[in-house]
Chain A
């Protein structure tokens, strides 16, 4: 069973590398941000699978912190582009 978890985690890592190109291509900053957001969630899924396959302590806490803070970068981008001092 733990081999299956690792296999799916491997698939997710490969997907992440393949999709990284979208961050570079854009064309708008929102496309780049969306892709980055998806990879945050992908990483959380990988962490859950690693936690289950290895049984190591604390791995779920890493996922918990990442999921708690998943929104911060998006809010940072929106407030930088919409808030005071945004490039017109």
Chain B
């Protein structure tokens, strides 16, 4: 196995760990804000590791750039979404009833 493939495998396993942790968090954590914390890990780090893993296999600069662009777009969407959800959740007083 070439070093590039090895890096891909390791990074993918790490990414899978983050996605498992994110879903476990969303199912098991007690309230909205802790669940939100779990989701952001899977969103930002999990997908980032997948992108990083696949970059080692990209055969052209353009394909790699597309992968990175997808990650950047998800970072923008995820950061904004989680800010909006957290704000709305606090305004509704979820943390008291949750």
| A touches B in complex, CB < 8 A | yes
Residues of A within 8 A of B (CB): 1, 4-5, 8, 11-12, 15-16, 18-19, 21-22, 27-28, 30-31, 33-35, 37-38, 41-42, 44-45, 48-49, 52, 60, 63-64, 67-68, 70-71, 74-75, 78, 81-82
Q: Determine if B19 and A35 form an interchain contact, defined as CB atoms under 8 angstroms apart.
A: no
How many A-B contacts at CB < 8 Å in the complex? Answer: 131
Bound complex: CA A45 to CA B91 (Å): 32
Q: In terms of DSSP, what is the predominant structure of the interface of chain A? A: helix
Chain B's closest residue to A42 (CB) is B19
Q: Which of A15, A37, A75 sits near B78, CB closer than 8 Å?
A: A37
Q: Determine if A28 and B32 form an interchain contact, defined as CB atoms under 8 angstroms apart.
A: yes
Chain B's closest residue to A5 (CB) is B12
Q: Determine if B63 and A60 form an interchain contact, defined as CB atoms under 8 angstroms apart.
A: yes
Given A38-B26, A74-B81, check contact A30 B94 (CB 8 Å): yes
Q: Which of B19, B54, B69, B91 sits near A12, CB closer than 8 Å?
A: B19
Instruction: For chain B, residues 47 to 97, give those with C-beta under 8 angstroms from any C-beta of chain A.
Output: 47, 50-51, 54, 57, 63, 66-67, 69-71, 73-74, 76-78, 80-82, 84-85, 88-89, 91-92, 94, 97
Q: What band does the interface of chain B fall in when counting residues whose beta carbon is under 8 Å from A?
A: 35 or more
Chain A's closest residue to B22 (CB) is A38
Which residues of chain A have C-beta atoms less than 8 A from B36's C-beta?
34
